Structure 1
C-alpha cells in the first residue's frame, strides 16, 4: 500500500493532461462516463487510540456513496461521502464515535492501463487517491474534531452486466491535523498526518448513460479490432473449399460440384456441349454404359445408372418457346434409348418442364409438348409406347426468373425410372 500511494498521487497530477490527450485522440465517444457507487463493510482505526481503548479487527461499520466521472477509459474523478462507526469491543473501555468525510479523488482504470482485456473481459481494477475534509464526533458528548485527510485505495471489479459491477475496495485514510483519538478519550499535541484508518468494503457500481458500455470496460481501438477480426473471419470462410473441387468458395460459381468432377477456374463443371451434364460424368456414363458389349462394367450396376437418371444427370434441353430439342441435347435421348434397350422390362416417366415466362396454362401445354416430342422419338426407335409415361410438370420455379442462364436450365425434359 505504501508503494501504491506515490503512484496514485502521480496519477492525480497526470489525470488532467492525460484526459485531454485521450480526448483529442478519440473521434467518437460511444460509451457512458457517469456512475454511482454504493458500498459497505468494515474498518480498523490504527492510530491514534488512547490506552485501554480499541475496536475489534475488523470492526463495523463503513458506508460509502460516490459519484464518478471518467474522462476516458483510463482516467477520471470521483466525489464521495463516507461514514465510519467506531465502538469499543470485548475488554475495551466503552466509547462510541462517528467519522464523516467528503473527498475528491482521481481515479485510474488500472485494468485498462495494464491491459486486463488480454486475459479477461469481466474483471477490472481501479486505483483512486485524493484529498478531503473529515469530522470525528463523540456520541457521548458534544466533542467534535475537524481535520483534513488524504486517502488512497484499490477497487476490484467484477462485471455483472453492462449496467452493474460488483466491487471490493481496500482504502487507507491518513488524517491531517487530527486533535483527538478515534475513541475521543484524549487529545494530542502532535498534528500532521497522525491518524491512520483502514476501510474494507464490498458494493455495487451502477453505470449511467444511454450507451451500452461504460468507460471502465472500453478497450482501445476495440471497434477497429473487431472489424479486422470480422474481415479475417470472412476471408477464412471464403477460402474454404466446401465441395472439394480445388476452387475456393469465394471464386466458386458452382457451389455443389460432385466430388471428383473436373472444373474450370471458377469452379464450374466443364460442360462443352451445354447439356447440363459435366463432361467427365457424361463421358464416363456413355463410355461404360452406352456400349452394348457384355463386358461393360456398368451393365451390372443398374442402381447407379438409375440414380444418375433420376437425379437429373440425363436431360434433353429446349430453346425458349420451343418443343423441339436443341441439337446439343439429343445425346440425352440417345442415352435413354440405350438404357431402355439394355433393360427391356424398365419403364420410365418422361417429365416435361418450362420456365416461368408466359402464362401458366400455356407453359403446362408447352411442357407436355416437349415430353411428347421425346416420347415420339423413342417410339420411332422401336421402344414400346406402353413403357413411356408422359408427365407435364409445367413451370419450374426453382430458379431466378430474371436470369436467362438460369431459365435455360429449366427448359428441359428429365426422366424417372420406375
Structure 2
C-alpha cells in the first residue's frame, strides 16, 4: 500500500510538470487558476496509545489552496490542510491539531475519459503529492513535525462558469511522525489519515471558461463520429437480423404450404376415386358466416383438395352449389347462395383452374337442416361440389 501510494504521487507530480511544459497558445482562451476550499470530516488510522481512540469520523477537517491547470488534463496545486482529532467519548480524553502544507500534481481524469461526450456538468480529478506539517498535542508543549505523501480523488459538479462544487476524498501517509495521534506515547505503527470534504472551486481569470470544463472540438467530433459509426453498425446489424427473421418466417410459411400441397397430392395419387366420392357425397364443403359471401382462410384446405384433384384430372368439370339458411326472403337467399358459389369459383379460377370448368348455381335456402338449431343453420350456409 505504501509503495503504491508513493508511486501514484510521483506519477501525478511528474505528469503535471511534464505536460505543463507542453502547454500551447491555444490554452490562452481559457482560465487556468482556481481557489479551492473545503470543509468536512477526518479520521486518523493506526498509531494511538493504549486506552485512547479517535472519534469516527472526527470533526473538523478544512483545506484551502490554489490550483493551476496547464490544460484540461494536468496541473499543480498548493494547499493548506487543518485537521482536528479528538477522543471518542468512551476513551481517555485528548485533542490534537494537525497543520499541513503540500504541493500536488493534478490529473483531469474526467477529460482523459471523455466525460464531455455525455455530460458538461460532472468532472473528476485525481491528485497526489508531498507535504510537511506539524501536530499540536494538548498534553505536551513541543509539536511533532512530519512529512506526508497524499493521494485523492475530487468529484466536480459545475454550478456556473465561475464556481464548481467539489466532493473530495484524500488519504495521507505520514513519515517521521514520532508520537501517536494522542501524543501520549512513541509511534509504533505507520500512521494514515483520511479526509473527506465538500467545498468549491472559484475560477480566476478574464475568460469565460476554465480548462476544467474545456472541450476540444476536434477530438470531441472525432469521438462522436466514431460512436455514430458504431451506432449505425448496430442499426445495420439489427436490420439484417430483422430481415433474416422475416425471410425465415416466409420460408417456414412457404414450406407449410408446400407440405399441404404434397399431402393433398399424395392423397389424390393414392386413390382418385376416393377423392371424387368424398367430393360428390358432400364431405368437401366451404362454409360462410351469416349474411356473407366472403371466402375466409378456413376454406383453404377444401379449396386445395378440389384444386389439386382438378389439376390432376384435366378432363373433369365441377358444379359449385351454394346454399343459405332460412333467414331472409326466398329471393334474397337465392341471390346470396349464388354469390357464395361464384365467390368460390373466383378463388379456384385465380388458383389456375379454367373458369369454363366451373359451373355455379344458387339453391337458396337449405331446407334439409333443423331451422331451430343455430349449429344446423351454420351448416346450411355453405358451398358444396359435384364432379361432372
Shorter chain as denominator, the TM-score bin is 0.5 to 0.7
How many residues are aligned here?
223
- Paired with 1:49 and 1:222, the residues of 2 have a C-alpha distance of 54
The within-5 A match list for 1:90-169 is 90-169=89-168
Q: Does 1:215 align with 2:211?
A: yes
- 1:10 aligns to what SS in structure 2? helix
- Paired with 1:119 and 1:213, the residues of 2 have a C-alpha distance of 18
Q: How far has the Cα of 1:53 moved from its partner?
A: 1.0
Q: Does 1:205 align with 2:204?
A: no
Q: Is the 8 A contact 1:8 1:127 kept in 2?
A: no
- Paired with 1:148 and 1:8, the residues of 2 have a C-alpha distance of 14
Q: Is the 8 A contact 1:168 1:201 kept in 2?
A: yes
Corresponding residue for residue 10 of structure 1: 11
- Paired with 2:5 and 2:185, the residues of 1 have a C-alpha distance of 32
Q: How far has the Cα of 1:69 moved from its partner?
A: 0.6
CA RMSD of aligned residues (A): 2.4
- Paired with 1:200 and 1:186, the residues of 2 have a C-alpha distance of 27
Higher relative contact order (CA 8 A, sep 6+): 2
Q: How far has the Cα of 1:80 moved from its partner?
A: 0.2
1:231-289: per-residue Cα shift (whole Å, max 9, x none)?
Answer: xxxxxxxxxxxxxxxxxxxxxxxxxxxxxxxxxxxxxxxxxxxxxxxxxxxxxxxxxxx
- Paired with 1:204 and 1:224, the residues of 2 have a C-alpha distance of 27
- Paired with 1:222 and 1:213, the residues of 2 have a C-alpha distance of 18
- Paired with 2:94 and 2:39, the residues of 1 have a C-alpha distance of 22
- Paired with 2:220 and 2:170, the residues of 1 have a C-alpha distance of 37
Q: Is the 8 A contact 2:9 2:127 kept in 1?
A: yes
Question: Which structure: larger Rg?
Answer: 2
The more displaced of 141-150 and 121-130 is 141-150
- Paired with 2:125 and 2:6, the residues of 1 have a C-alpha distance of 13
- 1:27 aligns to what SS in structure 2? helix
Corresponding residue for residue 73 of structure 2: 74
Corresponding residue for residue 52 of structure 1: 51
Aligned pair in 2 of structure 1 residues 89, 218: CA closer, same or farther (>3 Å)? Answer: same
Aligned pair in 2 of structure 1 residues 65, 51: CA closer, same or farther (>3 Å)? Answer: same
Aligned pair in 2 of structure 1 residues 224, 157: CA closer, same or farther (>3 Å)? Answer: closer
- Paired with 1:186 and 1:213, the residues of 2 have a C-alpha distance of 51
Q: Is the 8 A contact 2:72 2:213 kept in 1?
A: yes
Extract unaligned runs of 5+ from structure 2. 226-388
Q: How far has the Cα of 1:188 moved from its partner?
A: 2.7
Q: How far has the Cα of 1:47 moved from its partner?
A: 1.9
**Bigger helix fraction:** 2
